[in-house]
Structure 1
């Protein structure tokens, strides 16, 4: 039961990690664009 829960959590984390990284990259790039604009 616990093993299955851990496996599901790991899979979910692996699936959501690229989305989180993309959001962070987007936030950083938009912040740099904001600095370049002003």
Structure 2
């Protein structure tokens, strides 16, 4: 979900009406490269 110049990665939990934010990144970064580095 884009928010201004940022990208927010989240998991919605509709059964309990909450959202878990996983990561907030600056939108002009190489998003694919950053996501590959999550497990490292």
TM-score (norm 2): 0.22
Q: Return the TM-score normalized by structure 1.
A: 0.23
Structure in which a larger fraction of residues adopt strand: 2
Q: Which structure is higher in RCO with an 8 Å CA cutoff and minimum separation 6?
A: 2
More helix as a share of residues? 1
